[in-house]
Each structure stands twice: as C-alpha cells, then as structure tokens.
Amino acid sequence: GAGGNTFKCGAKETANGTLPTCKPKKCEVQSAPDVNATACGRAEYGSKCFFACAEGYAGTAQTRTCSVNSSGTMSLVGPPIDCEAQECIYNMPAGAQFDSNFKCSGVSVGESCEVRCAPGYAGTPATLTCGASLRL
C-alpha cells in the first residue's frame, strides 16, 4: 500500500510482513483556574479524565473521554464543566474602624475589594483579594 506495509500470503495461509506500530494519540488537557483535572493519566485515546472544581469553586464534577472529534483532532469529549466562584466568608473586615461604604461582602474567589478607615480613624486603604480558601 501507499506508505504502508505489504503482506503476502504464505504457503500455510499465514501473512508474512511486519505490522505497523500503532500508539494511541494524546489529548491536550486544558488547565483553568476553576477546574482540576485528575485521574487523567496519559490522557490518550480512549482514556477518561475526571474534572472537578478547584478549591474555592463549586459545581458538578464531570468525566470526559479522549476521542477523535468531528474535525479529526483529538479532544476530551463530555459534558460541560461549570464551576462557580464562591464568596469569601473569612477574614471579612468588621468593626466601627472600617468605612461602611467600602464593604467586601459578595466578593468571590479571584475578586478584590478596597477597605478604608472610617472617619475618625487613620490608616492607609488596603486592597484585599479573595483567595481559594475563601479568605480575604
């Protein structure tokens, strides 16, 4: 064949020749800050990858299979992975010394808020960022 191996049938109805070495292709495992890909192993054709939301995010874990997609390229096929950033609940600024116009409630993982001192208090404003541990 064109670029392949040729086999000839021998006297005892056995094929003579060398079979090609076929190895499974690999899927690229995309990384995202809100998703952890685990149990992917080599992420090769036919294998499954388990995706779960990263720390600080919530959603349903999904399994995807490494397959050949309709365009002929390798991809992980399965349901969408939808992870939602959780709100910070720890280390929230509280007390009369903080300006109530600068609240950090409702700030989610990856977002920031500014904290200023209330009138009558001195201090430099600070920008706090919500981390994966749900702590500002």
Please write the tens of the pLDDT for every residue from 6-45. Answer: 666 666 767 677 888 999 999 888 778 888 877 676 788 9
Confidence of residue 132 (pLDDT cuts 50, 70, 90): very high
CA distance 78 to 113: 36
Instruction: Give the angle subtended at the CA of 80 by the CAs of 79 and 84, to the nearest 5°.
Output: 140
CA distance 78 to 57: 20
| Contact call for residues 101 and 92 (beta carbons, < 8 A) | no
Residues ≥6 apart with Cβ < 8 Å to 124: none
pLDDT of residue 85: 95
Half-sphere exposure of 75 (CA within 13 A, CB side): 8
CA distance 57 to 67: 27
Q: Residue 1: pLDDT above 50? A: no
Q: Which amino acid is residue 91, in one-letter code?
A: N
Is the pTM above the cut of 0.75?
A: no
pLDDT of residue 2: 47
